[in-house]
Amino acid sequence: MIRQIWPLSALLLGTAFLLFAGGINGLILPVRGTAEGFSALSLGLLGTGWAVGYVSGCVITPRTVGRVGHIRTFAALCAFASVTILASLIFITPWAWIPLRAICGFCFAGAAMIVESWLSERVEPESRGRIFGIYTMINLGASTAGQLTLIAGGTEGFLFFVVGAIFYSLAMVPTAISSTSTPRPLVQVNLNIRALWLNSPLAVVAVFLVGISNSAFGTLAAVYGSEVGLTLTAIALFSSIPVMAGAIAQIPVGQLSDRMDRRKVLLGIAFIGICADLAFIVVHPESQLVNLVLASIFGAAIFSMYPVIVAHANDHAEPGTYIQVSGGLLLVLGIGSIVGPLIAGALMSAAGSSGLFYTTIVAHVLIIAYGIWRIRRRSAVRGRDKTEFVSISPTRTSTPETGVFTTTPDEYSEETTLSATDAPDGTPANKP
């Protein structure tokens, strides 16, 4: 394993720096914004801006890489991300932060695609599952470490903005000096709603609702924590523990979904999410410990839904189209992520901190209602016809390249050949 990891160390180190900076950036803005008196709606728009930028980055970056190459594009994206966090320090107003956050989301998506493409090129199909697991652990660990860094001091000064900028800049160094050969062209995915709908209506509806729920919580969890009186340390834990719980929960959830109807597993997870929603709304806990326990349960539910949905959609997909299906669902998730923080922010401004969980509970109820209807309309996939469940990082870092990185050895050759040469409509991709 060491011999496999060592040649990838530069790329993994660059990823760690990028996610560490992203963890700082993603938490410092809502915490500082709350302290500055920004409304919940304006802070929710930070998440909307991020999602718009992230989806745009997934679509546009492959064309940019086709023109100027991987290393130059990656360096430019890291530089722009560094600029956005420093500009956020200079212009402390939500109307500057929202477009800056959109630019950061664009940069983050593009940088993640390039790193994943590079790693995918260097990893043998037989070992990509283990390497992807290590990559996911690094992502989660670095992002969590970035968030927990805020515990070391107050958020009222400039320190964490500067530290974030430093690590965004450091992220470009390992790839810039790496001797790794330039990888294949990036995956280019078009959004074909009709094809996705014909493949699995439940997957389309559920992934959109999951985008609403997860992005609302990911953006406004820190705002909720501030409004209910959590300390800065507790706020950092309240934002990071759910993501870790979601990653851990994917192990038993994946095993269960491989043995029974994935739709029933999804409905069970959504029910657990509803129970956590109701606990936050009805009990309205003030204790830091109770909030953290409920956040863990909530995170284990909401951040384990997406891989189940992708696996369910792939169960119905034709061989050779898994990347296109997963990439299309990712874009639908992104559209939901645009809407979620906007709705939750408006509800929090009108109804207080519980407005966050009014948003998530509606999304989870709709998943269950539509899921029950689809179960009655379509029979379950037989066990031998199921695709392999693949754990996916519950953070907002999945890209179309993740679909390539997580393909099984049997799928790898056909999938990567198709995705690297053709767009989903059959036209050449990444053509200069």
Q: Are 18 and 171 in contact (CB under 8 A)?
A: yes
Count of helices and strands (H, E) across the chain? 17, 0
For residue 428, pLDDT beyond 60: no
Q: Among the listed ranges 141-145, 209-213, 296-300, which one has the minimum average pLDDT value?
A: 141-145
Confidence band of 410 (pLDDT split at 50, 70, 90): low
Mean pLDDT of 197-216: 93
Class of residue 33 by CB neighbours under 10 A (exposed 0-12, middle 13-18, buried 19+): buried
- Please give the pLDDT value at position 21: 94
Decide if 12 contacts 133 (C-beta within 8 A).
no
Q: Does 309 fall in a domain?
A: yes
Are 332 and 204 within 8 A, CB to CB?
Answer: yes
Residue 430 belongs to a domain: no
Which residues lie closer than 8 Å to 366 by C-beta, 6 or more apart?
205, 209
- 68 confidence band (pLDDT: 50, 70, 90): confident
- Is 2's pLDDT higher than 70? no
Tens digit of pLDDT for each residue in 214-260? 999 999 999 999 999 999 999 999 999 999 999 899 889 988 988 88
The answer as to whether 130 is a domain residue is yes
Give a yes or no: residue 252 inside a domain: yes
Residue 429 maps to a domain: no
What's residue 182's pLDDT? 66
Torsion angle of the four alpha carbons 29, 35, 38, 44, in this order, in degrees rounded to the nearest 10: 40
Condensed to tens digits (0 to 9), the pLDDT of residues 147-181 reads: 999 888 777 889 999 999 999 999 988 877 766 66
Rounded CA gap, 9 and 174, in Å? Answer: 9
Residue 180 φ then ψ, to 5°: -60, 135
- pLDDT band at 326, cuts 50/70/90? confident
Task: State the residue range of the domain holding 176.
Answer: 2-421
Q: Would you say 31 and 222 are in contact if contact means Cβ atoms under 8 Å apart?
A: yes
**What percent of the chain stands above pLDDT 70?**
87
The number of distinct structural domains making up the chain is 1
What pLDDT is stored for residue 424 in this prediction? 39
pLDDT of residue 421: 40
- Give the C-alpha separation, 7 to 294, whole Å: 41
- What pLDDT, on the 0 to 100 scale, is given for residue 1? 57
What pLDDT is stored for residue 128 in this prediction?
67
Report d(CA 299, CA 383) in Å as an integer: 28
Residues whose CB falls within 8 Å of the CB of residue 262, separated by 6 or more in sequence, listed in order: 308, 311, 312, 315, 381, 386
Residue 432's pLDDT band, with cuts at 50, 70 and 90, is: very low
What's the mean per-residue pLDDT of the chain? 85
pLDDT for res 427: 39
Residues 321, 423: Cα–Cα separation, whole Å: 11
DSSP state of 274: H
In a domain, residue 175? The reply is yes
pTM of the predicted structure, to 2 decimals: 0.87
Per-residue pLDDT at 112: 86
364 pLDDT exceeds 90?
A: yes
Q: Is residue 431 part of a domain?
A: no
Picking from 113-122, 303-312, 348-357, which range would have the lowest pLDDT averaged per residue? 113-122
Cβ atoms of 273 and 360 within 8 Å: the answer is yes
Average pLDDT in the 405-425 region?
A: 50
Q: What is the pLDDT of residue 420?
A: 41
pLDDT digits over 246-302, tens only?
989 988 998 898 888 889 999 999 999 999 999 999 998 989 999 999 999 999 999
Alpha-carbon distance 403 to 425, whole Å? 18
Where do we find the tokens 């938490």? 27
- Cα angle at 257 between 252 and 260, to 5 degrees? 125
- pLDDT at position 164 is 94
The verdict on residue 314 lying in a domain is yes
Q: Over range 14-39, report the average pLDDT.
A: 92
Banded model confidence at residue 18, pLDDT cuts 50, 70, 90: very high
42, pLDDT greater than 80: yes
Radius of gyration of the chain measured on its C-alpha atoms:
20
Give the pLDDT of residue 416.
47
pLDDT for 203 equals: 93
CA angle 299, 302, 306 (to 5 degrees): 130
pLDDT of residue 19: 92
- Percentage of the chain beyond pLDDT 90 is 51
Domain with residue 402: its CATH number is: 1.20.1250.20
Residue identified by tokens 């008196």 is 37
